[in-house]
């Protein structure tokens, strides 16, 4: 099997689920004949028809609620946000209508809202954001952010089969940049389980999304200095895999939390609190957060490069923690 | 203070008052009334508003509200005539005697249920706020009465009557307001914020106005994909329709030709803000032109008009022709909630609408058409009162929820089987031989 890109992995996952289960449909802006801004649904309308590949008006809140309404009839709809930045236009529907549905009136909402997030492509302030934390803070939702092609495919399938509203944050920088061979058989990746990406004994980097590759590069550099980095790829942000977090901290006793989202109120703070509660005695050094700075995502390449976390940040902080 | 202002402000006031106090029962029957009632099914012609929207009403609102400074205070005043007597009901094109009486009974249930709740509130048995629909019972009840079992309802907080028509019991709403463990949401939600997606097909309302419109658009889309054209009745107020979700949701329904029947309850006050401060148009039904769907203006206190307009919209939905827009003109006779005595509403406006009490008007219609005798009406009233006593007793006896239940059901277990509601998915235009090929076109960003 030839290696498959992160983008193709998502396309395969969606396509296979739509073939397997006729109750799955996709809705969103330009998803039909055009195939979506990033071509995730390219060709879908020909195979599945306009009733299951629904082009919508530019109305994120209506898309979100309509996807939910369709799920109330037992369908498993997948709504696309052209960019995850526009999820803010549907914020009220997601946190008020969808997230509280099963709790408020026992109406499960088996749906997925997916789309590209993240920076590194000079998308500017409205095409580069990582808005996952608004939703990680919302009970009733599940939040996923895969970093690899294999996980992206397995998790989109798991998300579609899940009985709850799942927000699926794809990373647009990874769409055509990472590829790997995928299993031939139908597989899913369990929601709520982190993945040990690299084993090491000296320091853990807990991360997700595109920052996985920053962590990997840093680990290669540090390996040459004899520092063995362990990398935990969270994959699911809600519910968090507390056990995986605790285990790696107990093993290495030093931890960097790395994410592309901005620092204040970012997931790193939450993970630091979990470590404090569940593995405080295992720590030999302070917990370090490496994140984007607290600012909007800038447009111009030199500014965006300065804004995003870098390999050298991880290398520098790892060296400091090892000596601590 | 309010009386003092009213006296100094309006020279007409002293003339108005004696006439107003008698209410609907003493209002004289106009010439038009007599013709309509005596001629049995002779229906008065349907008018049109300046934009060509059909207006089924037998009267136009003869006054409006302006803001004004008087005695150093800013307040609302009435401009126009509020003394006009109420017209008769427009005879229904579709309702039989039996159905009309059933609608009357539901309206009574709606009102008695809310009167019971008001007493429970005053006894401090209601937890939190209480939202009443006095004066709006015809709109809630007669519209929902036009729905079939497979159709959906997306009520607003005041449409408690429509929920009863759809199959909930008054005890459900009462237990909700008393935060009981036996309530449909087991104490998790308040008041009319409950629903049923399995059997009764009612979306639980949320406090965010307009959000349910696109929800039922999605429901109708889902049903259509399963081979069934259903009608989804959604309510929004004159205040709620100012929100963005209202526009996005109804435009979505319109463009997808989904059977959403939107009733805009133009009840003149958005909490304390008069409609004059909500929108610049006179008839909200004008907006139906912009949505590209048929619109109609009706008298929301006339159950016949409400039923007929909804019925026609529902049939249009069944035919797969798409959404409809109904503007129902009526009045919220209580405050926004029980804490609010609505002192901002000029007294003469309340008097005008008291004469348009939907239940009294329906009684009169039944009597004049000789579809019911006073004795029969009295019998229905006693029966409903007895029923309501039983419902209230049941609701009061329900236990409060057990605190150990908190946090349950935030998520739906994946072991739960979720089946299709209307049957297998039917697609008309797919090409099954098509295979997935690698995307070759450029994406939005490299």
Contact A147, A215 (CB under 8 A): no
Contacts of residue B119, Cβ cutoff 8 Å, sequence gap at least 6: none
pLDDT per position as a tens digit, B377-396: 999 999 999 999 999 999 99
Q: What is the mean pLDDT of chain A?
A: 97
pLDDT-based confidence at B26, cuts 50/70/90? Answer: very low
What distance in Å separates residue B441's CA from the closest CA in chain A? 7
pLDDT-based confidence at B68, cuts 50/70/90? Answer: confident
What distance in Å separates residue A38's CA from the closest CA in chain B? 4
Contact A68, A165 (CB under 8 A): yes
Cα B15 from chain centroid?
A: 34
What distance in Å separates residue A275's CA from the closest CA in chain B? 24
Q: Does residue B200 belong to the interface with chain A, where contact is any CB pair within 8 Å? A: no
Question: Residue A196 CB: number of other CB atoms within 10 A?
Answer: 14
> Would the pLDDT of B70 be above 90?
no
Cα B365 from chain centroid?
A: 21
Cα dihedral value A59, A61, A63, A66, nearest 10: -130
Q: Quote the pLDDT of residue B443.
A: 82
Give the range among B72-81, B243-252, B281-290 with minimum mean pLDDT.
Answer: B72-81
d(CA B7, CA B13): 7
Mean pLDDT of A295-320: 98
> Would the pLDDT of B33 be above 90?
no
Q: Quote the pLDDT of residue B343.
A: 87
> Would the pLDDT of A257 be above 70?
yes
Contact A147, A117 (CB under 8 A): no
Mean pLDDT of B4-24: 35
> Would the pLDDT of B13 be above 80?
no
- Asked whether the beta carbons of residue A103 and residue B410 sit closer than 8 angstroms, the reply is yes
> Would the pLDDT of A191 be above 50?
yes
> Would the pLDDT of A283 be above 60?
yes
Contact A42, A77 (CB under 8 A): no
d(CA B178, CA B120): 8
Q: Quote the pLDDT of residue B41.
A: 53
pLDDT-based confidence at B32, cuts 50/70/90? Answer: very low
DSSP A95: I
Alpha helices in A224-299 (DSSP H): 242-252, 267-278
ipTM of the predicted assembly exceeds 0.90: yes
If you search the block for the tokens 């944050």, which residue do you land on?
A: A169
User: pTM, whole model, 2 decimals?
Assistant: 0.92
Quick check: helix, strand or coil at residue A63?
A: helix
- Catalytically annotated residue among A46, A91, A127, A171: A127
What distance in Å separates residue A87's CA from the closest CA in chain B? 14
Q: Is the peptide bond before A239 cis (omega within 30 degrees of 0)?
A: yes
Contacts of residue B93, Cβ cutoff 8 Å, sequence gap at least 6: B43, B308
DSSP B432: T
> Would the pLDDT of B16 be above 60?
no
Instruction: Give the whole-number percent of chain A exceeding pLDDT 70.
Output: 100
Q: Quote the pLDDT of residue B270.
A: 85
d(CA A179, CA A23): 29
Q: Searching chain B, which residue's CA lies closest to the CA of residue A2?
A: B438
**CB-side exposure of A36: number of CA atoms within 13 Å?**
27
> Would the pLDDT of B183 be above 80?
yes
Interface test with A, best of B255, B411, B440, B441 (most A CBs within 10 A): B411
Question: Residue B361 CB: number of other CB atoms within 10 A?
Answer: 23
- Asked whether the beta carbons of residue B219 and residue A122 sit closer than 8 angstroms, the reply is no
Q: Quote the pLDDT of residue B442.
A: 82
Contact B131, B192 (CB under 8 A): yes
Q: Does residue B418 belong to the interface with chain A, where contact is any CB pair within 8 Å? A: yes
Q: Searching chain B, which residue's CA lies closest to the CA of residue A59?
A: B248
- CA dihedral sign of residues B158, B162, B167, B170: positive
- Asked whether the beta carbons of residue B215 and residue A72 sit closer than 8 angstroms, the reply is yes
Contact B251, B241 (CB under 8 A): no
pLDDT per position as a tens digit, A31-41: 999 999 999 99
pLDDT per position as a tens digit, A85-143: 999 999 999 999 999 999 999 999 999 999 999 999 999 999 999 999 999 999 999 99
Contact B139, B173 (CB under 8 A): no
Of B249, B421, B429, the CB nearest to A49: B429
d(CA A82, CA A26): 13
Q: What is the mean pLDDT of chain B?
A: 90
- Asked whether the beta carbons of residue B436 and residue A46 sit closer than 8 angstroms, the reply is no
> Would the pLDDT of B7 be above 80?
no
pLDDT per position as a tens digit, B218-232: 999 999 999 999 999
Describe the strand order of the beta sheet including B295-299 as a list of residue ranges: B47-48, B54-55, B295-299, B324-329, B260-266, B232-237, B152-154
- Phi then psi for residue A234, to 5 deg, are -65, -40
Q: Quote the pLDDT of residue A22.
A: 97
What distance in Å separates residue B84's CA from the closest CA in chain A? 42
Quick check: helix, strand or coil at residue B109?
A: helix
Mean pLDDT of B100-119: 98
Mean pLDDT of A148-162: 98
Contacts of residue A247, Cβ cutoff 8 Å, sequence gap at least 6: none
DSSP B202: B
Contact B174, A85 (CB under 8 A): no
- Phi then psi for residue B74, to 5 deg, are -95, 130
- First and final C-alpha spacing in chain A: 46
**Rg (alpha carbons) of chain B, rounded to whole number:** 23
Can you point out the beta strands (E) in A118-194?
142-144, 166-171, 179-180
> Would the pLDDT of B35 be above 80?
no
Q: Quote the pLDDT of residue B8.
A: 37
Catalytic (active site) residue A137: no
pLDDT-based confidence at B273, cuts 50/70/90? Answer: confident
d(CA A83, CA B446): 14
d(CA B201, CA B182): 20
B170: enclosing H helix or E strand: helix B170-177
- Asked whether the beta carbons of residue B197 and residue A48 sit closer than 8 angstroms, the reply is no
DSSP B196: B
Q: How many CB pairs under 8 A join A and B?
A: 224
- Asked whether the beta carbons of residue A105 and residue B185 sit closer than 8 angstroms, the reply is yes
Q: Is A318 exposed, middle or buried (0-12, 13-18, 19+ CB in 10 A)?
A: buried
- Provide the β-strand partners of residue A262: A292
d(CA A290, CA A310): 9
Interface test with B, best of A4, A57, A73, A90 (most B CBs within 10 A): A73
- Asked whether the beta carbons of residue B445 and residue A105 sit closer than 8 angstroms, the reply is no
pLDDT-based confidence at B258, cuts 50/70/90? Answer: very high
DSSP B193: -
Q: Quote the pLDDT of residue B360.
A: 97
- Asked whether the beta carbons of residue B446 and residue A121 sit closer than 8 angstroms, the reply is yes
Mean pLDDT of A172-181: 97
**Rg (alpha carbons) of chain A, rounded to whole number:** 19
Can you point out the beta strands (E) in B294-435?
295-299, 324-329
d(CA A112, CA A142): 9
d(CA B213, CA A203): 52
Q: Quote the pLDDT of residue B43.
A: 80
Mean pLDDT of B24-35: 36
Instruction: Give the whole-number percent of chain B exceeding pLDDT 70.
Output: 91
Can you point out the beta strands (E) in B28-105?
47-48, 54-55, 63-70, 73-80
Q: Quote the pLDDT of residue A226.
A: 97
């Amino acid at each position: 099997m030839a290696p498959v890109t992160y983008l193709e992995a998502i396309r395969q996952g969606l396509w296979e689920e739509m073939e397997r289960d006729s109750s799955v449909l996709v809705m969103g802006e330009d998803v039909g004949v055009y195939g979506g801004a990033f071509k995730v649904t390219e060709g879908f309308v020909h195979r599945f028809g306009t009733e299951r590949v629904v082009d919508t008006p530019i109305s994120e809140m209506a898309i979100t609620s309509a996807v939910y309404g369709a799920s109330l009839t037992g369908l498993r709809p997948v709504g696309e946000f052209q960019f995850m930045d526009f999820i803010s236009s549907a914020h009220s529907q997601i946190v008020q209508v969808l997230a509280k549905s099963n709790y408020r009136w026992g109406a499960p909402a088996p749906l997925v809202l997916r789309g590209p997030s993240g920076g590194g492509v000079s998308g500017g302030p409205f095409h580069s954001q990582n808005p996952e934390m608004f939703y990680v803070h919302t009970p009733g939702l599940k939040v996923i952010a895969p970093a690899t092609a294999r996980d992206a495919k397995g998790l989109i399938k798991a998300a579609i089969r899940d009985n709850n509203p799942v927000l699926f944050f794809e990373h647009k920088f990874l769409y055509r940049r990472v590829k790997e061979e995928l299993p031939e058989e139908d597989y899913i990746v369990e929601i709520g389980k982190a993945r040990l990406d690299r084993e090491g004994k000296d320091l853990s980097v807990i991360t997700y999304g595109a920052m996985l590759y920053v962590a990997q590069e840093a680990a290669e550099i540090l390996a040459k200095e004899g520092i063995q980095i362990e990398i935990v790829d969270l994959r699911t942000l809600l519910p968090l895999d507390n056990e995986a977090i605790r285990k790696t901290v107990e093993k290495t006793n030093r931890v960097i939390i790395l994410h592309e989202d901005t620092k204040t109120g970012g997931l790193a703070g939450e993970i630091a609190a979990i470590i404090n509660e569940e593995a405080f005695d295992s720590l030999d050094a302070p917990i370090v957060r490496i994140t984007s700075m607290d600012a909007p995502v800038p447009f111009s390449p030199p500014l965006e490069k300065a804004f995003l976390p870098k390999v050298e940040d991880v290398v520098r902080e790892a060296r400091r923690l090892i000596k601590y | 203070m309010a009386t003092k202002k009213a006296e100094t402000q309006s020279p007409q006031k002293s003339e108005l008052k004696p006439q107003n106090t008698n209410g609907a029962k003493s209002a004289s029957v106009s010439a038009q009334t007599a013709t309509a009632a005596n001629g049995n099914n002779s229906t008065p012609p349907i008018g049109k508003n300046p934009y060509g929207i059909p207006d089924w009403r037998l009267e136009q609102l003869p006054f409006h509200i302006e803001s004004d400074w008087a005695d150093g205070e800013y307040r609302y005043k009435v401009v126009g005539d509020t003394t006009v007597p109420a017209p008769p009901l427009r005879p229904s094109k579709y309702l039989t005697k039996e159905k009309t009486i059933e609608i009357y009974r539901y309206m009574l249930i709606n009102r008695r249920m809310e009167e019971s709740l008001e007493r429970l509130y005053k006894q401090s048995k209601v937890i939190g706020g209480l939202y009443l629909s006095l004066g709006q019972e015809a709109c809630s009840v007669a519209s929902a009465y036009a729905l079939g079992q497979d159709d959906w309802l997306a009520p607003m907080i005041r449409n408690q009557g429509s929920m009863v028509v759809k199959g909930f019991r008054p005890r459900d709403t009462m237990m909700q307001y008393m935060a009981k463990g036996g309530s449909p949401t087991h104490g998790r939600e308040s008041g009319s914020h409950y629903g049923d997606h399995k059997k009764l097909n009612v979306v639980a309302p949320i406090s965010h106005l307009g959000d349910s419109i696109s929800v039922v658009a999605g429901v109708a889309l889902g049903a259509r994909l399963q081979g069934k054209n259903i009608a989804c009745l959604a309510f929004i107020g004159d205040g709620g329709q100012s929100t963005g979700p209202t526009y996005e949701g109804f435009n979505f329904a319109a463009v997808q030709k989904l059977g959403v029947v939107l009733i805009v309850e133009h009840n003149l006050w958005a909490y304390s803000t008069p409609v004059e401060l909500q929108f610049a148009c006179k008839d909200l039904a004008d907006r139906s032109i912009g949505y590209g769907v048929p619109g109609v203006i009706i008298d929301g206190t006339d159950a016949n008009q409400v039923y007929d307009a909804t019925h026609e919209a529902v049939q249009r939905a069944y035919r797969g022709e798409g959404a409809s827009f109904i503007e129902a003109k009526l009045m919220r006779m209580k405050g926004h909630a029980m804490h609010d005595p609505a002192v901002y509403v000029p007294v003469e406006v309340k008097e005008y609408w008291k004469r348009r009490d939907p239940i009294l008007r329906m009684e009169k219609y039944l009597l004049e058409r000789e579809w019911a005798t006073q004795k029969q009406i009295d019998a229905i009233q006693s029966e409903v009162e007895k029923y309501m006593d039983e419902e209230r007793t049941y609701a009061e006896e329900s236990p409060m929820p057990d605190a150990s239940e908190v946090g349950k059901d935030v998520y739906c277990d994946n072991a739960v089987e979720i089946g299709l509601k209307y049957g297998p998915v039917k697609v008309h235009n797919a090409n099954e031989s098509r295979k997935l090929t690698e995307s070759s076109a450029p994406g939005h960003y490299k």
